[in-house]
Structure 1
Amino acid sequence: MAYASVEDFILRVGELQAIELTDREQPFTHTVNETVLNIALGDSSSQIDGYLAGRYQLPLDKVPLNLVRICCDLARFRLCSMSNVTITDEVRERYEEALKELALLAKGITALGIEQELENDPTGDMVVMFSNGNTRIFSRDHKNRERIA
């Protein structure tokens, strides 16, 4: 599942740029190639999941708007790098800001604002048990120490 749809992407970057980024047919069709765009959105969503997996139960029940924006920014950068569209300073800055925001989410410094955050130990794998059986293996008495050879 992608965090953003074709429609989300077009609303954010405009139809003209969406066409420029995805129309790879010869001769050009002058339409948005939804297959190409959906692959870029899927790849970007997978990248987002890599950041969120340690902190949130995936897939998310509801996609927060900031993830829609981040997904579109990542996909736009990805598509620019695979097309004749120049990566502008704005595209690069939005991409870098998206990565910074994902890093903050992964570290728990910022949150998505949803209630699906994982508990500290959702699987119980990190349970530590301590016990004191009061049975010493070694004595503190220097005279009664056995020598192990």
Structure 2
Amino acid sequence: MRYCTRADIGNAMPLRTLIQLSNDDPAAQQPNEVVIEDGVRQAAELVDGYLRGRYDLPLNPVPTVLRDAVVYLARHWLYQRRPEGALPDSVKDNRKDTIKLLESIRDGVVTLGMPGGEAAPEPGEIRVRARRQQFGPNLWERYR
């Protein structure tokens, strides 16, 4: 869990809810850590997708805004595992807001405040093409 800890996920929702969302066994007494880890992995990959090309990954230290983003996205993923239940409005709204924030970071509207404050250069090369020079030094000398 690079962007967030297991405790961060546990703080985002009650233990009983986490047990119900992460386990397929209704009699389970503990959360399924493998399922939680999978949700966090997927959320972290989505965040990386928005940051790639703008920042050098992995980020160190991880800004708290990204920790919260991964927690919100992982929580949404856990709720989506249960299609028979309705997603709470707060979970849907948090996901929408998180995606908007990630788009703003990607577009450079919001910065992460990383040390140095510099974004990573875009990959690739730039090629420039120009016409042949029509006015050489000899021609310009005539106009002096």
Report the TM-score, using the length of structure 2 for normalisation: 0.79
The correspondence of residues 106-145 of structure 1 with structure 2, limited to 5 A, is: 106-115=106-115, 117-119=118-120, 121=121, 125-126=125-126, 128=128
Where do 5+ consecutive residues of structure 1 fail to align? Answer: 137-149
Rounded Cα–Cα distance in structure 1 between residues aligned with 2:35 and 2:7: 14
Structure-2 separation of matches of 1:29 and 1:61: 36
Higher alpha-carbon Rg? 1
- Aligned residues of 1:23 and 1:30 also touching (Cα < 8 A): no
Flag the 1:122–1:103 CA change in 2: closer, same or farther, 3 A. closer
The CA RMSD measured in Å over matched residues stands at 2.5
SS of alignment partner, residue 39 of structure 1 = helix
State the TM-score, normalized to the length of structure 1.
0.77
- Is residue 6 of structure 2 the alignment partner of residue 6 of structure 1? yes
Q: 1:127 to 1:58 in 2, by over 3 A?
A: farther
Identity %: 27
Give distance in 2, aligned partners of 1:117 and 1:34: 36
**Which has the larger displacement, 8-17 or 87-96?**
8-17
* Matching residue's letter, 2:38: I
Q: Measure, in 2, the Cα distance between the counterparts of 1:34 and 1:114.
A: 31
1:52 match: 51
Aligned ranges for residues 19-58 of structure 1 at < 5 Å?
A: 19-25=19-25, 28-58=27-57
- The unaligned stretches of length 5 or more in structure 2 are 137-144
